[in-house]
Amino acid sequence: MPERLRRRYFAVKLETEEKIDKRKIVNAIWNAIYELFGDYGASKAGLATIDYEEEEKLLILRCYHKAVDMVRAAIAFITKIDDKPIAMHVIAVSGTIKALRRKIKGKFQPSSFQSMDKAS
Amino acid sequence: MRKFADLNLNIQTENLESFESAIRKASWLGYKIIGVSLPPKTTKEKITQLKEIAESFGVDLASRVNLSPSNPQELLRNLRRLRRKFEIIAVNCHLKSVARQAAKDRRVDIIYFPNEIKKRFFDKAEAELAKQALAALEIEIMQIPTLPRIQRTQLISRLRNEVKIAEKYQIPIVISSGISNPILMRRPREMAALATLFDIPMEKALKSVSEIPQSILERNREKLSPNFIAPGLKIVRKGKDCPNA
Task: Give residue A54's pLDDT.
Answer: 87
Average pLDDT taken over every residue of chain B: 92
The pLDDT tens digits of the residues spanning A43-57 come to: 999 999 999 998 889
Could you give the CA distance from residue B205 to residue B133 in angstroms, rounded to a whole number? 22
From the list B120, B154, B118, the residue with the least C-alpha distance to B139 is B120
Could you give the CA distance from residue B178 to residue B8 in angstroms, rounded to a whole number? 5
Q: What are the start-end ranges of the H helices in chain A? A: 22-45, 68-77, 97-107, 110-119
CB contacts of B186 in chain A (<8 Å) are 76, 87, 89
Decide: helix, strand or coil at residue B140: strand
Task: Give residue A3's pLDDT.
Answer: 75
Domains in chain B with CATH codes: 4-241 (3.20.20.140)
User: Would an 8 Å CB–CB cutoff place B180 in contact with chain A?
Assistant: no
The pLDDT tens digits of the residues spanning B160-172 come to: 999 999 999 999 9
Tell whether domain A7-119 is in CATH 3.30.420.40.
no
- pTM of the entire structure? 0.89
User: Would an 8 Å CB–CB cutoff place B21 in contact with chain A?
Assistant: yes
Contact at CB, A76 and B21, closer than 8 angstroms: no
Task: Give residue A110's pLDDT.
Answer: 44
Could you give the CA distance from residue B102 to residue B97 in angstroms, rounded to a whole number? 9
Over range A74-101, report the average pLDDT.
Answer: 93
Torsion sign across C-alpha atoms B199, B202, B203, B204: positive
